[in-house]
Amino acid sequence: MSNLNSTSLPIPGRSKPRNLAQAVVEHITESIRNDSLKTGEKLPTESEIMQIYGVSRTVVREAISHLKAAGFVETRHGIGTFVLPPPKTGMGLPHESMVTIRDVLDILEIRISLETEAAWHAATRRSEEQIQALAEVLRVMQTAQENQQNSVDADVQFHLLIAQATGNAYFVDLLSQLGRTIIPRARINTALLAEGEPQSYLQRVRHEHEDIYQAILRKDPEAARAAMRTHLSHSRERLRRAQELLEPEVGSEKANAAQS
Decide: 32 and 86 in contact? Cβ < 8 Å.
yes
Residue 184 sits in which domain range? 95-259
pLDDT of residue 193: 57
238 and 109 together in one domain: yes
Nearest to 214 by CA among 198, 233, 230, 202: 230
61 and 170 together in one domain: no
199 and 116 together in one domain: yes
Q: Please state, in angstroms and rounded to a whole number, the distance separating the CA atoms of residues 131 and 148.
A: 26
Q: Is the pLDDT of residue 204 over 70?
A: yes
Confidence of residue 96 (pLDDT cuts 50, 70, 90): very low
| Whole-Å CA distances, 118 to 149, 163, 172, 224 | 28, 6, 10, 9
Q: Please state, in angstroms and rounded to a whole number, the distance separating the CA atoms of residues 143 and 49.
A: 40
131-159 pLDDT, tens digit each: 999 999 999 888 888 887 878 888 888 99
CA 173 to chain centre: 7
pLDDT of residue 177: 74
34 and 101 together in one domain: no
Decide: 195 and 241 in contact? Cβ < 8 Å.
yes
DSSP string, 30-72: HHHHTTSS-TTPBPPPHHHHHHHHT--HHHHHHHHHHHHHTTS
Please tell me the pTM assigned to this model.
Answer: 0.59
30-84 pLDDT, tens digit each: 888 888 889 999 999 999 999 999 999 998 988 888 788 667 889 898 899 999 8
Confidence of residue 257 (pLDDT cuts 50, 70, 90): very low
Identify which has the larger pLDDT, 93 or 237.
Answer: 237
Q: Out of 83, 106, 129, pick the residue that ends a domain.
A: 83
pLDDT of residue 67: 85
Q: Please state, in angstroms and rounded to a whole number, the distance separating the CA atoms of residues 63 and 54.
A: 13
